[in-house]
Structure 1
Amino acid sequence: MPKTSARLLALLSLLQARRDWPGTLLAERLDISLRTVRRDVDRLRELGYPIAAVKGPDGGYRLSAGTELPPLLFDDEQAVALIIALQIAATTPGDGLAEAAARALDTIRQVLPARLRHRVNALRVTAVEPPTTRPVAPVDGDVLLAISAAVHAHEVLRFDYASEGADKHPRRVEPHHVITWDGRWYLVAWDLDRDEWRIFRVDRIILRTPNGPRFTPRALPGGDVATYVIGRFRGSDDASGGWPCRGTVILDLPAATAALYTRDGVVEEFGPDRCRLTLGSWSWPSLAAAVARFDADIDVVGPDELTNAFAHLARRFTRTAAGSGTAAPASRVEPNG
């Protein structure tokens, strides 16, 4: 039987790998008795891990959300990905989250095992912003969280809004989406006082509390947030953004992470660890390749041409991996379908 500390880490790793674990299966995987599983679960609870008992014929356990952040366990790939994302955030000019990202980066580096510390210490990534005539203002992470909570709860937001060259104006809005565009955070909302859709820069929002009453979400012009936002920023009715091909996917990545790598596109929250991404490109295969670079599970929302492009690239990559890249090419996927 492994030592208690190693066994607890193994148990925690299993609990993080899937939602529910029958107690008998945990005992089998760890090669211990069911009684030892119960004792180890109690030890993890004492350390702050919110492990709930699951009712059922076999009983079981589930790692739930708690009121505090307990120690986390990452595999090697997750740890390296986290270091890279934090380093990009920490070196992004004008990013209000840069200081917090730098502190988190230092904290994680201190506890990395030696085999990973040597690898990541050799990594030096610096985010370089393209030249711009407008300064990028910092964004308060607490404000982002508060706005996102109001979006999910469908609660009216009240805030002061400071426009350039103007005094602060109190606003009452129905918040619908928090997005990023060209490195900035925005709130898409229905302005109750002006009776119209508006896009607000999050760095200019000063929240008032408490929030207002709940509301029933309205339908956005164009049918979805990407069409509306691209149309507003590009000044185009068809919201194509100048690209002949444009598609939407769901990524298994938090919106904040995807936003680090997205400049000319729309990222919106789609749950705690998922986001909705809309991008454009000169061809469907190039668009599929641009999405694939996020290295995350992908669900295509549309159109069908993007799904076909993923299948086209999959066949090409399969031939390459098999060493037959010179085989006859698959049917060509044209830029517009």
Structure 2
Amino acid sequence: MLQLLGLLQSRRVWSGEELAERLGVTGRSVRRDVERLRDLGYPVHASKGHGGGYRLGAGAALPPLLLDADEAVAMAVCLRVAAGGSVAGVGESALRALTKLDQVMPSRLRSQVAAVHDATTTLTSGRTEALVAPDVLMTLARASRDREHVTAGYVDRDGNATERRLEPYQLVTTGRRWYLLCYDRDRDDWRSLRLDRMTGVTARGTTFTPRSAPDAASYVRRAITASPYRYVARVRYQASKDVVAQSFSDASAEIEAEGPDTCIVTAGADEAERLVPWLALPGVEFEVLEPPEVIAAVREVADRLLRAHARR
């Protein structure tokens, strides 16, 4: 049956005689195995006459695919690229598919995939990207799915290294970085951890009972737009949330509608003046509500620009 499935996937139409000859069986055996494949959910269609035969069609559900060695390597390489990419909605799905494929892939094929990955360089837009080892992604994806305890080393933004005992719940990607929503057992609280700062990630083989978890996307968004920074600004824009959102990503700011034509943006930075040109990106009137340091920075930058214009 597996050989028959492989043949049906390799060509659009096969006659019963061709299949029987390739498999070394009788036509009756071919018909019997076709019925078995249909029972398993594979939509095998049969047609008579000139150009007719057996073909594998599309069904209501996706049954398992039979891949040869080259196809498995090619698919795993593409999934690794997609998992780390910025195409909307693809990264998480690619990671889930890669997890399933990695689970059944022979070690010799897995090493081929790793070799291709190690020998490949991707051109970027010039920004420093946070690189995450694929094995870290795979380990955390499986542990999140299976509710398995994880230990890992972690280096925070100040360079302090700690060992963490974690209950992983969900991976979140912003397109440039990966984050893990997890429960830190030693700190007895929820945490959002950057995967590129994690080392020695190990699944312990023991499972935990799921807790009532916060929404992963909302939790990570709040964590990366405000809590890590020295200055957190709240700014009112004289434009709708949809208009202002075109200038900011989910990873850089939290946007709340205040009315049909106004919204509040919360964003942070370690230097107040660095926020000013970034806050002006929407190109509409805005007012910095807090903190005083950012309000003062807006005034200083505005005065500097006016002086530059006067000199011109």
TM-score normalised to structure 1 length: 0.40
TM-score normalised to structure 2 length: 0.43
Larger radius of gyration: 2
